[in-house]
Amino acid sequence: MPQYPVSIKGVVVRARRVVLMYNERDEWELPGGRLELGETPKECVAREIYEETRIGVDVVNVLDSWMYHIEVANKDVFIVTYGCRATTDAPPVVSHEHKRVGEFTADEIPHLVMPDGYKRSIATWFARLDADGATG
């Protein structure tokens, strides 16, 4: 039976803009990463978001899960996404793991080079925030 790495990602929306990272494959992605030993998925995504952006978050709930095939590396990664609420208004900072950081509106997302699973997770979180009357 094949085994896959798991990556836990977070959708962080602040002032109606989602925080995204630009990676070495020249595509946008959600902040997040791999679980450390003894860590829960929620702890992982909060830690990774802070390490990559310096934004503290409250992790709310799972949005989606999907298998992502990375063409250039010819490998599959199981992705789990969480909706997150920022606990700071400070601007995001880019870490050494990415080329840059950006914040985008829901209308800008369809036009970005980004895996469809991330786009779906972002749309889901915006829809939940809208249903709750939250601004993100």
Count of beta carbons in the 10 Å neighbourhood of residue 78 = 14
Contact 27, 107 (CB under 8 A): no
Domains and their CATH numbers in the chain:
6-132 (3.90.79.10)
Residue 49 main-chain phi, psi, to 5 deg:
-60, -45
Percent of the chain surpassing pLDDT 90: 73
SS3 37: coil
* The model's pTM: 0.91
7 in Cβ contact with 79 (< 8 Å): yes
| Mean pLDDT, the chain, whole residue set | 92
Q: What is the pLDDT of residues 36-48, one digit of tens each?
A: 999 999 999 999 9
pLDDT tens digits, 78-134: 999 999 999 998 899 888 888 899 999 999 999 999 999 999 999 999 999 998 876
**All residues at 6 or more sequence positions from 50 whose CB lies less than 8 Å from its CB, including other chains:** 56, 57
